[in-house]
Structure 1
Amino acid sequence: MIPILLIAEEYPEDIADGLNEIAQHYIHQNFKTSNTIIDDNIQYEFKWGIKFIQDNNLEGGKLMVTSNLTNFREVPPDVNLEIAVRYYKKIEAFRALGKIFESIYVISNDEEIYKSGEIESYLNFEEMAQFNHLGAMVDCSRSCVANIDTVFYLLRTCALLGINCFQLYTEDTYKMENEPFFGYMRGGYTEDELVSIDDYAYNLGIEVFPCIQTLGHLGQILQWPYYANVRDTSEVLLVEYEETYQLIEKMIRTITKPFRSKLIHIGMDEAHGLGEGRYRQIFGNKESCQVFLEHLQRVNQICKNLGLTPLIWSDMLFCLAGKNNSLTVYYDNVNPLSSEQALQIPPEVNLIYWDYYHVSTDFYSCKIKHHRELGCEPWFAGGIWTWNRFWAALPFTFDSGNAALQALKTEGVKNTFVTIWGDDGNEFDLYSLLPGLILYGEHGYTPNYEVSLDAIKTMFGAICGGNLDAWMEACKLDSVIPSNAEPKIYFPPNASKWILWMDPIYAFLSPQYGMFDLEKHYLELSNNLKQAMTENENKYPLNKYLEFPALLAYVLSLKVNIRKKLEEAYKNNDRVKLQELYDNDLTNLCKNTEKLWKLHRDNWLSRAKPFGCETVELRYGGLIIRLNSLYDRIKGYLDNKYTNIPEFETPPMMIYENAGPGLLLDYSRAATPSRALGAG
């Protein structure tokens, strides 16, 4: 327990509700406001006051924290330690509070500082915001729609980090009047829910603006006959068709109504096949880039009529002009757009350069210049690597994020946000993303080009209550290649995902990791995470959420070699060994896989709406049934019901030469060698 209680004693009315929410939910429970003080029987050694002062004379983006004492152990009679926070905008008040939490956390957990009482450098500091917009975007379209409590939790966390804008990525997961198949059985947000999110964020100084799609990525609605008339391809709307624009205007009116902000992210990325489906049959052949630009102009006009400022992902401008859907064109070192095409981009439209893949600052600087050549001042979107995996790939998130944010500061880009995608089932653990948010929050208030792991570690402990070392340890679910081993990889693999979902009877991908002892790797990882869960629970209360990666690691330790062991015993006709594996290893694997499914399901239902959970549950169901089949087949063979097991006579082969386990595979590729499944 932190032995210092912070009490917000004076504060403007417009931050009162936000402070009360922080006080009620702060994980270390040592912050109160005058409205939330209750007798909780907790004995604090010290009680310090905080006074918040909104100061219009401060330069925009600046915050100042001062204390009336430099040593809390040398306090004159009748004097209390008081901390003053001066700020210009609401968000800076909450950022200052987050940094005070960090200081108290350091003071309380450093024995030398705590004994000395010297606090001058910890409670006297200034910060300046480096960006006009510093935001986060959460994917609520890939099966998982975060529930209101989860959104509120993320908003409180963002506020304490100084993150001042927030988006929920909703392709079809918002309710539209008289559109029953828009977001059909997808758990979309109601207008009342979105209003409550906007109000909650407003009280914390955060601007929420909608993030939707108005061209591609609309396969969820276009799969239904109800929307056949506005379908070009399975994913892309039919442009130049009046009913399409009627639908788009209805979408824009609906999604902007609950929010105060006049910004709207209208998407338009990855609209592959634009103009090549029904469009071509109806309107004939037309150059795709021109089709895109005319559609952009039309949707921009809808936004202008409604007093809105649109943002779009910028990739299609580059890919269509380069006549190649591959991202290599987007990230090429040349700009394929002609000056004539660039002039057709409406000046009101903000282009978002998105890039999650590079670790070179020079690369980001080059692409920023390409965007400026189009006559626009770009926004930038980075990524916390949460998609297509169970646990965020934090090392690569930090490497790519530091490189990108250094480039933004060097090039003077003033608007940025970090994306939290959930591609292929949204299977990732929510709490794994938090250190990535802290990276962006810390970058947002320092001119330094890099934020160190130590800085993230301290803030993570103070704001979230987690041990960054344990979170980084959990990243070994996917980082299974020793740092000095070949092959070298240039993207974060998702080994834990494809090993878990890989068919246990075929184990057709197992040669990819045969050169490493992953059974030992995952067993050690599981033990380390279990230990971290119960180690110093007062300092790291968030560590209880390591239960999922710890159990996943244990299941993987049982699964990685189960086929190999069974096959060896089978081929050696060692029925004693086969019986032993059946009784112990296989039984244990079946039991713990079912336990993992229930934990994953319970986590989902506590953090998100139930709609979409079936995507993950069907995967567990398939795995559990195949494990049961393996169990029954081995039993049948031991009982002489079967004379052979043909799958064990068909050895797995290396599929991806020179890649080892450094693969990034989706569920449909990992589950079976047959092309029988679609992606989630």
Structure 2
Amino acid sequence: MLQLYTEDTYEVEGEPLFGYMRGKYTTRELCRLDDYAYDLGIEIIPCIQTLGHLGQVLQWPNYTHLRDNSEVLLAGSEPTYEFIEKMISAATGPFRSKRIHLGMDEAYGLGEGRYRQLFGYKEPTQIFVYHLQRVMEICSRYGLQPMIWSDMLFCLAAKSNSLQGYYDQGNNPATPELVEIMPSDIDLVFWDYYHTGEEVYEQKLQQHRDLGCSQPWLASASWTWSRFWTALPFTFQTVRASTLAAKNKNTGVKNAFITIWGDEGNECDIFSCLPGLYYYAQLGYCEKDDVDLSILKQSFDAICGANFDDWVYASKIDDSPSGNPITTRTHFNANPSKWLLWEDPMLGFLTPQYTDEDLETHYGQIADHLFTSLKESSHPAKNGNNDPNTNGTIHYPLNARLELPARVALVLSLKCHLRQRCVAAYRARDHEQLYELATGRLTRLIDAVESLWQYHRRLWMDMYKPFGWEVLELRYGGLRTRLATMYHQIMTYLEKRSNTKNNEALASKANKTSSSSSSTLAIDDLDLDLIDDGNEEEDDDDGSLAEFDIDLQCLFYGSKTNMLLDYSRVVTPSRPG
């Protein structure tokens, strides 16, 4: 089974702004996908959204009348259900499957926006169930068997606009009133990508049964979102916990699947999830509680043409030098490679998070290892040169994909601590050192970012339609221009400081030679040394570097680099707009 997740990325007849300029699948493309999967014995199930996660559509004025809020459809409104029927018809038409995933997750603020203005206050869970019943009536007319993500049933009961209510083990929404009005033929999908202990999954699955769903589905994930490379060690831990719960003969499930997501720009090389998918498949079909790691690695090499250990090693770009131990209290995987890359280089306002970490060495070692793996993988295997079966072929052809994390690591080895070093030189008035940082390390960083951008662009264009790349390219463009401005600001400052000192030298020399027979000054008499004596006060006329005059504050105490941050949070301390 493959669930093909779409929000607005498929054609809906008569709705040209649905998926407008988003690279949506054409009906013909979806039919071809279904034919291809059918030949391989794979059922493709359309996975859409029919309540929340529709901000891409609802942003356009044509759909104002369908909004409850900026992300959520207006439940209880007849035009909403006419629109949903068009979506369901378009999404299911190309596929043989009679199953459909209706989404309905993370519909935060349901009933609190235009709904309340139009219909007054109503308990949100009742709104949700009424909406579900109406959408299921549509599915019934089309002969479809629907399923939904189950989180809103838990979050609404907990009165929580976050997932905390979903995973709170003490929060069981299965009241007699709710069980009575819940549709009996809806499949609930429990999704949990965060826990490393199987007991959480088992308890929540039972709570789904308490809601009247005798066979809930279970979804785990390979951690691809909001990062450049899959967080494989954490993926292995969460997948193992959820799969053992699924395989438990007493509390297990019949249907389970693993998800991959592209949230926050889809920067990740999606193929980096392959070790996670392969581990999930092996664990799901073996009788023991874990797989034979040696066989897993050999099989991954044979099936995927990549080195398992190298691909797992690439996940270190989101580790700290001291590592991030995974325990039962670990509920997410940090993404420092992302926020360190996009953090504004001149302001560097997250620097206090890692002042006591040697990230230069950390990322330098990762880059060296991955580039070495790339080089060795692009040549015949050393141990296979005498093997007539190898014919001198490349040993790990898919290891070529390690170039993305390798280039990210190289950039970060140059970027981390750069502002810190520049500020130290600036405040010490060591202008020679500041000049060397600008013309040396900063210049190399600019070149490395240029190469990373160009490689990432090639990778995207080889895999996807061009739509969506503009999101990442704007990030690269912002980083490149900010680095250029950083160089310009430093060099302009140094030029002004040099000119000020030269002017002082000229005036002093002129005074000394005014009574002399010759007033000619040689170029050697000018003070071109960029090192100050350290006793002068900076003058406004000298053009100080205001960005370097600010003392940075620690913003996330106790977190250090163990943070999962979005682009908008790290690009600047100023709020957009």
Specify the TM-score bucket, using the shorter chain as the normaliser: 0.7 to 0.9
Q: What's the C-alpha RMSD, in Å, of the aligned pairs?
A: 1.6
Q: Is 1:646 matched with 2:540? A: no
Cα offset, 1:450, TM superposition = 2.1
Q: Is 1:186 matched with 2:27? A: no
State the match for 2:362 in structure 1.
Answer: 521
State the match for 1:340 in structure 2.
Answer: 177
| Aligned 8 A contact 2:202 2:252 in 1 | no
Letter in 1 for 2:263: D
Letter in 1 for 2:415: K
Q: 1:285 aligns with which of 108, 121, 133?
A: 121
Cα offset, 1:459, TM superposition = 2.5
Q: Is 1:602 matched with 2:443? A: no
| Aligned 8 A contact 1:435 1:456 in 2 | no
State the match for 1:544 in structure 2.
Answer: 400
Could you say what secondary structure the match of 2:86 adopts?
helix
State the match for 1:630 in structure 2.
Answer: 486
State the match for 1:507 in structure 2.
Answer: 348
Q: Is 1:464 matched with 2:282? A: no
Letter in 2 for 1:656: F
After superposition, give the CA deviation of every residue in 1:99-156 in whole Å (9 maximum; x if it has no partner).
xxxxxxxxxxxxxxxxxxxxxxxxxxxxxxxxxxxxxxxxxxxxxxxxxxxxxxxxxx
State the match for 1:385 in structure 2.
Answer: 223
Could you say what secondary structure the match of 2:306 adopts?
coil
Whole-Å separation in 2 of the counterparts to 1:574 and 1:325:
51
State the match for 1:59 in structure 2.
Answer: none
Whole-Å separation in 1 of the counterparts to 2:181 and 2:103:
18
Q: 2:205 aligns with which of 360, 368, 385?
A: 368
Q: 1:586 aligns with which of 442, 445, 461?
A: 442
Could you say what secondary structure the match of 1:244 adopts?
helix
Whole-Å separation in 2 of the counterparts to 1:495 and 1:352:
31
| Aligned 8 A contact 2:345 2:415 in 1 | yes
Equivalences for residues 250-269 of structure 1 within 5 A: 250-269=86-105
Whole-Å separation in 2 of the counterparts to 1:650 and 1:337:
54
Q: Is 1:439 matched with 2:279? A: yes
Equivalences for residues 49-128 of structure 1 within 5 A: none
Could you say what secondary structure the match of 2:357 adopts?
coil
The range that moved more, 582-591 or 489-498, is: 489-498
Cα offset, 1:536, TM superposition = 4.2
Judged with a 3 Å threshold, the aligned counterparts in structure 2 of structure 1 residues 348 and 484 are, in CA distance, closer, same or farther, namely closer
Whole-Å separation in 1 of the counterparts to 2:449 and 2:82:
48
Rg larger in structure: 2
Q: 2:565 aligns with which of 658, 665, 668?
A: 665
Judged with a 3 Å threshold, the aligned counterparts in structure 2 of structure 1 residues 395 and 598 are, in CA distance, closer, same or farther, namely same
Whole-Å separation in 1 of the counterparts to 2:295 and 2:352:
40
Whole-Å separation in 2 of the counterparts to 1:574 and 1:544:
43
Whole-Å separation in 1 of the counterparts to 2:403 and 2:325:
29
Whole-Å separation in 2 of the counterparts to 1:484 and 1:346:
43
Q: Is 1:208 matched with 2:44? A: yes
Whole-Å separation in 1 of the counterparts to 2:331 and 2:347:
29
Letter in 1 for 2:358: D
Q: Is 1:495 matched with 2:336? A: yes
Cα offset, 1:390, TM superposition = 0.7
Judged with a 3 Å threshold, the aligned counterparts in structure 2 of structure 1 residues 435 and 618 are, in CA distance, closer, same or farther, namely same
Q: Is 1:480 matched with 2:317? A: no
After superposition, give the CA deviation of every residue in 1:409-449 in whole Å (9 maximum; x if it has no partner).
11231101111011111110122111111022112322222
Q: 1:534 aligns with which of 366, 370, 375?
A: 375
Letter in 1 for 2:574: S
State the match for 1:454 in structure 2.
Answer: 294
Judged with a 3 Å threshold, the aligned counterparts in structure 2 of structure 1 residues 485 and 240 are, in CA distance, closer, same or farther, namely closer
| Aligned 8 A contact 1:501 1:623 in 2 | yes
| Aligned 8 A contact 2:196 2:330 in 1 | no
State the match for 1:295 in structure 2.
Answer: 131
| Aligned 8 A contact 1:398 1:436 in 2 | yes
Cα offset, 1:512, TM superposition = 0.8
Q: 1:349 aligns with which of 186, 193, 209?
A: 186
Judged with a 3 Å threshold, the aligned counterparts in structure 2 of structure 1 residues 511 and 320 are, in CA distance, closer, same or farther, namely same
Letter in 2 for 1:304: S
State the match for 1:406 in structure 2.
Answer: 244
Could you say what secondary structure the match of 2:229 adopts?
coil
Whole-Å separation in 2 of the counterparts to 1:461 and 1:576:
51
Whole-Å separation in 1 of the counterparts to 2:243 and 2:330:
22
Whole-Å separation in 2 of the counterparts to 1:569 and 1:675:
30
Judged with a 3 Å threshold, the aligned counterparts in structure 2 of structure 1 residues 619 and 452 are, in CA distance, closer, same or farther, namely farther
Unaligned runs of 5+ in 2: 379-393, 498-541
After superposition, give the CA deviation of every residue in 1:31-53 in whole Å (9 maximum; x if it has no partner).
xxxxxxxxxxxxxxxxxxxxxxx
Judged with a 3 Å threshold, the aligned counterparts in structure 2 of structure 1 residues 303 and 405 are, in CA distance, closer, same or farther, namely same
Could you say what secondary structure the match of 1:282 adopts?
helix
Could you say what secondary structure the match of 1:418 adopts?
strand
More helix by share: 2
| Aligned 8 A contact 1:409 1:449 in 2 | no
In the superposition, the TM-score normalised over structure 1's length comes to: 0.74
The range that moved more, 502-511 or 527-536, is: 527-536
Letter in 2 for 1:479: D
Letter in 2 for 1:180: P
Cα offset, 1:564, TM superposition = 1.1
Cα offset, 1:360, TM superposition = 0.5
State the match for 1:115 in structure 2.
Answer: none
| Aligned 8 A contact 1:477 1:495 in 2 | yes
Cα offset, 1:452, TM superposition = 4.7
Higher RCO by CA contacts (8 Å cutoff, separation 6 or greater): 1
Whole-Å separation in 2 of the counterparts to 1:456 and 1:235:
42
Cα offset, 1:624, TM superposition = 0.6
In the superposition, the TM-score normalised over structure 2's length comes to: 0.87
After superposition, give the CA deviation of every residue in 1:64-115 in whole Å (9 maximum; x if it has no partner).
xxxxxxxxxxxxxxxxxxxxxxxxxxxxxxxxxxxxxxxxxxxxxxxxxxxx
Judged with a 3 Å threshold, the aligned counterparts in structure 2 of structure 1 residues 248 and 490 are, in CA distance, closer, same or farther, namely closer
Cα offset, 1:490, TM superposition = 4.1
State the match for 1:675 in structure 2.
Answer: 575
Q: 2:430 aligns with which of 558, 567, 574?
A: 574
